[in-house]
Amino acid sequence: MTKPLVAILSGAGISTDSGIPDYRGPSGLWRRDPEAQKLVTYEYYMNDPEIRRRSWQMRRKNRTLLAEPNAAHRAVAELEKSGVPVRVITQNVDGLHQLAGMPARKVLELHGTARSVVCTACHVRGAMMYALARVEAGEDDPPCLQCGGILKSATVMFGEQLDHVVLGEALAISKACQVFIAVGSSLQVQPAAGLAGVAADHGARLIIVNAEPTPYDDQADEVIREPIGTALPTLLRTMGAESESPQ
């Protein structure tokens, strides 16, 4: 019998056990320092060299690139390795799903990746670690080495549109899946949050694993408030076992 397609939408809450703070929780960065939003807002970033300088310093101090996958990331990868069709749609930019063992082609990064940089002029991409090495060496605002254009993190900043191809693939998966698990997401940021509703409308079993209530709780078949680091591995192990049992 064909195994059900499992879609997993992951938000910041799945990575907090890896030492990466969330942004919108009770103690999230945007609540503690609304001014920090300017550093990742496209218009401010492109028009103000001082904002770019501060943004590069923020990235230099950021521990995201040093973070390791946690039990929740590993549980997702293990489910995929067990033979269950799994697709990850993530709002995170940390790359931890791939580091945990999920094939990159099965991970859709809605908001881009903090592990790369992109030139805003010629669109050439490079590794963030090399750009940060230039900052460490004394460049306040390292330009593109190809054309001299402004470099930015390959993440979707405030004021930028999501990649329509990536969003289209995420929408198709949400419509096709039999199980949709939203984990560690406030489900407040559109259009990502709306994927949970799309999945439910197309008959998927909707499971929400999150510490705080979400706008989609009333559409969910199951809502889990337990800590993600233990709750998600338990849920996915059960799901894997169910897929192995005779139908």
Average pLDDT, the chain: 91
Using DSSP bridges, classify how beta strands 151-155 and 179-183 pair: parallel, antiparallel or unpaired: unpaired
Using a 10 angstrom Cβ sphere, with 0-12 exposed, 13-18 middle and 19 or more buried, the burial of residue 47 is: exposed
Domains parsed from the chain with CATH numbers = 1-20+68-111+161-247 (3.40.50.1220), 26-62+113-155 (3.30.1600.10)
- The answer to whether 82 and 233 are in contact (CB under 8 A) is no
208: β partners = 182, 223
Q: What is the DSSP string of 109-170?
A: ETTEEEEEEEETTT--EEEHHHHHHHHHTT-SSPBPTTT--BEEEEE--BTPPPPHHHHHHH
Q: Which residues contact 137 (CB under 8 A, 6 or more apart)?
A: none
**Interatomic CA distance for residues 94 and 110, integer angstroms:** 12
pLDDT of residue 7: 98
The residue-averaged pLDDT of 10-17 equals: 94
pTM for the structure as a whole: 0.90
Q: CA triplet 41, 44, 50: central angle to 5 degrees?
A: 120
The residue-averaged pLDDT of 225-234 equals: 95
Share of the chain above pLDDT 90, in %: 79
Closest among 89, 91, 96 to 176, alpha carbons compared: 89
pLDDT of residue 225 exceeding 80, the answer is: yes
**What pLDDT, in 10s, does the model give residues 84-120?**
999 999 999 999 999 999 999 999 999 999 999 999 9
Tell me which of 43-47, 143-147, 239-243 is least confident.
Answer: 239-243
**DSSP character for 58?**
H
pLDDT of residue 190: 86
**What pLDDT, in 10s, does the model give residues 183-204?**
999 999 888 999 999 999 999 9
The residue-averaged pLDDT of 21-36 equals: 59
Amino acid (1-letter code) at residue 22: D
Residue 133 to residues 106, 116, 142, 187: CA-CA distances in angstroms?
A: 30, 13, 10, 35
The catalytic site residues sit at 111
pLDDT of residue 26: 46
**Interatomic CA distance for residues 221 and 129, integer angstroms:** 42
How many CA atoms does the CB half-sphere of 174 hold within 13 Å? 24
**Interatomic CA distance for residues 24 and 92, integer angstroms:** 13
User: Exposure string (b/e) for 115-148, b if CB count within 10 Å is 16 or more?
Assistant: bbbbbeeeeeebebeebbebbeeeeebbebeeee
Q: Assign 243 a pLDDT band (cuts: 50, 70, 90).
A: low
**Could you tell me how far CA 199 lies from the centroid of its own chain?**
18
pLDDT of residue 207 exceeding 80, the answer is: yes
